[in-house]
A and B are shown apart, each in its own frame.
Chain A
Amino acid sequence: MINWRSWDRAIVARIIGIIIVTTVAVGLRVWGINQLGYNTDEAVYAGQAAAIAKAPILKDIFPIFRAHPLLFQFLLALVFAFGVSDLAGRLVAVAIGLATVYMTYRLGKLLYGVKAGLLAGLFLALMPYHVVVSRQVLLDGPLVFCTTLALFFLARYAMTQRPAWIYLTGVGMGLTFLAKETGIIMLGAIYAFLALSREIRVQIKHLFVSALLMALMILPFPISLLLAGGTRSGKNYLVWQLFRRANHPWDFYPSTVPEAIGFLVIIVGILGLWFLRNEKSWRERILLCWILVPATFFQIWPTKGFQYMLPIAPPIAVLAGRAIARWWPEDFSIFSLRIRRSWVKTLTVLVIALSIFLSSVQIITPATTGMFVAGTGGVPGGREAGEWIRNNIPEGATLMTIGPSMANILQFYGYRRAYGLSVSPNPLRRNPSYPPILNPDMQIRNGDIQYVVWDSYSAERSTFFSEGVLRFAKRYHGRVIHTQSVKVTLADGTVVDKPVIVIYEVRP
């Protein structure tokens, strides 16, 4: 029999807090999670996982080795061994996202106490940036979990000075690399933190052991490339990444990331840094290093992606949590009404939580405009078109799409090979993971390509290749065999069916 009365109020409050954070974190991540099918990146990672799991047909379509290490794909493969399912893949991503929310809570608790930890966990649980990414089969979800883990270990080291924690930081960084190789830049954050913190003493031999452990953890990547037969693809991709052209303007991150994190969260975090400047310690420094190093790096790096900045989300959430938890405004009166400081704090938390909650709800609601931005969610109609292909187009058929994005989706759901017309035959101008169509005319004439697919998303990005695809459809007796439409809302509020994917049968 539990004696409830004997429980400390603080413990009860903590349990209630944990329940609230967990509930909103789970709710936002699983609500309507499978309304839309995979986007192109999800299709690629899930396809790799299916190939590792030896899923029939998919294992012949998707190569195991493409660009990145395979930690997440390996975990997915363990699930896909029981059957390939897009929902199962996304639930794995959600589980990792929830683990990140927990680690953020632990980090906040470690640095600033339970309240700050709970608030940090709440902000990350509600944060649109993390919500949208952790609902998808992307590498950035596991990456941010691993970076937060490494940050937590580093903070434990800073607090205890026990060498074991700096060793674990090396392990955490190794896992970060295995999740996504770009995570290696967090080494810069660790270096900056240790270099700027005289009070944190670290011996070279401990760092050496830590580096050794990190190298040991990274080993699966080169070992599997060498022994499992994928060296070439890895090298090619690295070369391409180093020399590829910018894919977004310089203001891509400033215009997208703050909104996705939540303006209020950022403002509160900054205000906390200012108003609590008297409390400054290595704690804020470690968080700031964890934010500024990747932010600076990705701002300079020409290749930009919506989700690349995600590792900065947990430390920002912790800073915001810390600001509210440790900020103690005095009670004050308005028109003889006494306003308690606890009311102000509660109201502030509610306003911030509500603002980011609404943003999250908005961002996870499927777009009704027929447009989509890479990294923000699934592609309306993609899964349905792919499934139609699987059920109606003979096995062994090959499709030509406008670009590789739609090709990936149709390959995953359609179980048929698809190639993007826009993939450049010049190896310096294309992602080496994507084979080009060297001579589309000849391949259609030879019956090597039997279907041509036009889609509005790719057409929006490249009218040139959109027209190219339609030209081939016209030239080779193109016959529409399927049109995939989605419901879109027009400016005047009218809901109409918009054709987003059109499949043509072509023949010589």
Chain B
Amino acid sequence: MKKVRVFRYLLCVLVISFLFPTASARADVRSQSPETKTPIKHFLVLMQENHTFDNYFGTYPGAEGYPEGTCIPVDPFDKSNTECVEPFHIGDRPIEDLDHSDSTFNLQYNKGLMNGFVYALNQRNQNGALSMGYYDDRDLPYYWNLVDEYVLFDHFFSSDHGGSFANHMFWVSGQQGGSRVTGEGYDDIPTIFDRLQESGISWKFYVQNFDPEINYRTAHLISGNRASQVIWVPILNMARYLDDPELSSHIVDLNEYFTDLENGTLPAVAYIAPAGASEHPPGSIRSGQKFVKSLMQALMRSTSWDSSAFLVTYDDWGGWYDHVLPPQVDEHGYGMRVPAFLVSSYAKRGHIDSTVLDFTSIMKFVEENWNIEPLAERDGNANSFMSAFDFSAPPREPVFIPFERVVKEERVEPRRYVIYAAYGGALILGLLMFIWTAIGSDIRRKMSGYFRRRTQPEVPMP
């Protein structure tokens, strides 16, 4: 009898799964949560563009920011020229896209002296002094508010000396890829997504304003900035991610990020590439913050918050000054430090993490958390940012971080003691008046009678 019941149940499940393939597929995504080493079941990473740590957080209290007396020579090769440029607040000054080629890196790096920042850009007919500009909480209120609550990494380096593409390649594959002839592609390079696919771990590449028609085969035909999609999404340079529907279906528009959160179908690993809001100079850093805010808020109000970690970082230094000498692990890098911060319900509160990290550390974390073999030497040797989490505590409740900077000390609290004293005093005064009027007369009468008796001579007992 029991066997018949079990058989009927299985039959029902089979029929339902055939009748409702969509529901089944959705359930499939949800069930794809292989064992993780940590409570993090969803890891998301957003790659913004072109800023250094000092440029964004060089004055952030407690972080390794500008050293005292920083002044970068205008010409480090001319000993007689003592002119130098100190870091300055950019504010509303117009900025430009500073050159950030390999050769500029080498000049700025200057064999480890880190004193060629102004000079290198002057050599490119740009205003080299601009590289010494920085932003602070007046310009980056949201990011500063975020890192007040979560984790800021102050030794996070770009993986490559060069610009966007090489660093994006490190981001997904742990290797640079090298420069190739247009149209050749990078199909031979394995990526973290191949590993995830093989292991049955759900993943997606969310792309803002995604155009599926733009890939390495067509990019040269596209005019304007839209062709940059193949830089931001390096796997669009790999034939298998274009031709295999099983793989290409994972590259989706950013809108799906929001619907996935709403439906509870967020994949285990998600890479996010921006479009207009990447903060690439001279783009608006305020727009970038609003973009990040929308992503954070969507995550925080979803059911995935309790099991997610969201890392925001920047693909390269963009020509800006950074004072920390990047360790050289091979001929490609590291490049300069870049801003990076982690938001998670398990992230330590207001923590500054100084572990030496780079983009391959992202892969390292994924590999550690989901127990995947490293892809390349770089990610195999990279440090992970596990130290940024506190898994001993329960997940933190989500808190929408305000967009404007609120400095706690500056908040003017009303003087409450005045209210207590004034109104309390009025009530006490009224009460005393009442007692004096209503009862006081009786007391006075009794007291006067008492004193009268006291002053009268005692009458001797008969």
Please state if A395 and B437 are interface contacts (CB–CB under 8 Å): no
Asked whether any CB of chain B lies closer than 8 Å to the CB of A291, the reply is no
Please state if A219 and B415 are interface contacts (CB–CB under 8 Å): no
Provide the residues of chain A in CB contact with B424, threshold 8 Å.
74
Mask of B415-436 contacts with A, CB within 8 angstroms, 1/0: 1101110111111011001101
Task: Output the least CB separation between B229 and chain A (Å).
Answer: 21
Provide the residues of chain A in CB contact with B293, threshold 8 Å.
446-447
Which of B181-189, B294-302, B387-395, B445-453 lies at the binding interface?
Answer: B294-302
Please state if B416 and A228 are interface contacts (CB–CB under 8 Å): yes
Chain B: interface secondary structure? Answer: helix
Provide the residues of chain B in CB contact with A216, threshold 8 Å.
426, 429
Please state if A394 and B419 are interface contacts (CB–CB under 8 Å): no
Interface residues of B in 262-298 (CB under 8 A from A): 262, 290, 293-294, 297-298
Asked whether any CB of chain A lies closer than 8 Å to the CB of B401, the reply is yes
Asked whether any CB of chain A lies closer than 8 Å to the CB of B96, the reply is no
CA distance A162 to B294 in the complex (A): 71
CA distance A171 to B430 in the complex (A): 6
Please state if B430 and A70 are interface contacts (CB–CB under 8 Å): no
Provide the residues of chain B in CB contact with A393, threshold 8 Å.
301
User: Number of contact residues on B: which range applies?
Assistant: 35 or more
- Residue of B397, B400, B427 touching A450 (CB-CB under 8 A): B400
Interface residues of A in 134-169 (CB under 8 A from B): 162, 164-165, 167-168
CA distance A385 to B431 in the complex (A): 42
A396 (CB) vs chain B CBs: closest residue: B400
Please state if A171 and B433 are interface contacts (CB–CB under 8 Å): yes
- Residue of A167, A223, A446, A450 touching B433 (CB-CB under 8 A): A167
Interface residues of B in 386-410 (CB under 8 A from A): 397-403
Known contacts A70-B423, A394-B397, A448-B403; is-contact A230 B434 (Cβ 8 Å): no
Please state if B416 and A446 are interface contacts (CB–CB under 8 Å): no
CA distance A230 to B415 in the complex (A): 10
Please state if B423 and A178 are interface contacts (CB–CB under 8 Å): yes
Asked whether any CB of chain A lies closer than 8 Å to the CB of B258, the reply is yes
Please state if A508 and B434 are interface contacts (CB–CB under 8 Å): no
Mask of A42-81 contacts with B, CB within 8 angstroms, 1/0: 0000000000101000000000110000110010010000
Please state if B258 and A507 are interface contacts (CB–CB under 8 Å): yes
Provide the residues of chain B in CB contact with A326, threshold 8 Å.
none
Asked whether any CB of chain A lies closer than 8 Å to the CB of B94, the reply is no
Known contacts A216-B429, A450-B301; is-contact A227 B294 (Cβ 8 Å): no
Please state if B290 and A175 are interface contacts (CB–CB under 8 Å): no
- Residue of A229, A398, A508 touching B414 (CB-CB under 8 A): A229
Task: Output the least CB separation between B140 and chain A (Å).
Answer: 16
Please state if A394 and B300 are interface contacts (CB–CB under 8 Å): yes
- Residue of B415, B416, B426 touching A174 (CB-CB under 8 A): B426
Asked whether any CB of chain B lies closer than 8 Å to the CB of A224, the reply is yes
Known contacts A74-B423, A479-B262; is-contact A397 B301 (Cβ 8 Å): yes
Task: Output the least CB separation between A55 and chain B (Å).
Answer: 12
Interface residues of A in 385-412 (CB under 8 A from B): 393-398
Most chain A CB neighbours (cut-off 10 Å) among B293, B401, B414:
B414
Provide the residues of chain B in CB contact with A175, threshold 8 Å.
426-427, 430
Provide the residues of chain A in CB contact with B418, threshold 8 Å.
223-224, 227-228
CA distance A228 to B412 in the complex (A): 10
- Residue of A65, A220, A394 touching B423 (CB-CB under 8 A): A220
A508 (CB) vs chain B CBs: closest residue: B294
CA distance A73 to B419 in the complex (A): 10
- Residue of B258, B412, B420 touching A229 (CB-CB under 8 A): B412
- Residue of B258, B397, B420, B433 touching A74 (CB-CB under 8 A): B420
Please state if A477 and B258 are interface contacts (CB–CB under 8 Å): yes
Provide the residues of chain A in CB contact with B301, threshold 8 Å.
393-394, 397, 450, 505
CA distance A229 to B419 in the complex (A): 11
CA distance A477 to B436 in the complex (A): 68
CA distance A71 to B420 in the complex (A): 10
CA distance A216 to B433 in the complex (A): 12
Asked whether any CB of chain B lies closer than 8 Å to the CB of A217, the reply is yes
Please state if B402 and A396 are interface contacts (CB–CB under 8 Å): yes
A226 (CB) vs chain B CBs: closest residue: B418
Asked whether any CB of chain B lies closer than 8 Å to the CB of A324, the reply is no
Most chain A CB neighbours (cut-off 10 Å) among B403, B420, B423, B433:
B423
Interface residues of A in 459-508 (CB under 8 A from B): 477, 479, 505, 507-508
CA distance A448 to B403 in the complex (A): 8
Asked whether any CB of chain B lies closer than 8 Å to the CB of A213, the reply is yes
Interface residues of A in 437-451 (CB under 8 A from B): 446-448, 450
Interface residues of B in 130-161 (CB under 8 A from A): none
Mask of B241-273 contacts with A, CB within 8 angstroms, 1/0: 000000000000000001000100000000000
Task: Output the least CB separation between A264 and chain B (Å).
Answer: 35
Provide the residues of chain B in CB contact with A228, threshold 8 Å.
414-416, 418-419
Please state if B425 and A220 are interface contacts (CB–CB under 8 Å): yes
Known contacts A446-B290, A507-B294; is-contact A396 B401 (Cβ 8 Å): yes
CA distance A219 to B297 in the complex (A): 47
Please state if A70 and B419 are interface contacts (CB–CB under 8 Å): yes
Known contacts A394-B399, A394-B400; is-contact A178 B297 (Cβ 8 Å): no
Interface residues of A in 182-235 (CB under 8 A from B): 213, 216-217, 219-220, 223-224, 227-230
Task: Output the least CB separation between A475 and chain B (Å).
Answer: 15
Interface residues of B in 361-397 (CB under 8 A from A): 397
CA distance A174 to B423 in the complex (A): 11
Please state if A229 and B415 are interface contacts (CB–CB under 8 Å): yes
24 of the cross-chain contacts (CB-CB < 8 Å) are A52-B420, A70-B419, A71-B423, A74-B424, A77-B419, A168-B434, A168-B437, A174-B426, A174-B430, A213-B433, A219-B422, A220-B419, A223-B418, A223-B422, A224-B423, A228-B419, A229-B415, A394-B301, A394-B399, A396-B399, A398-B400, A447-B403, A450-B297, A507-B294
10 nearest A-B residue pairs (beta carbon): A396-B400, A220-B422, A394-B398, A164-B437, A74-B423, A228-B418, A227-B418, A395-B399, A228-B415, A228-B414
Using A74-B424, A165-B437 as known contacts, list a sample of 7 further A-B pairs with CB atoms less than 8 Å apart, ordered by residue number in A. Answer: A52-B416, A70-B419, A71-B426, A77-B420, A213-B433, A228-B418, A396-B401
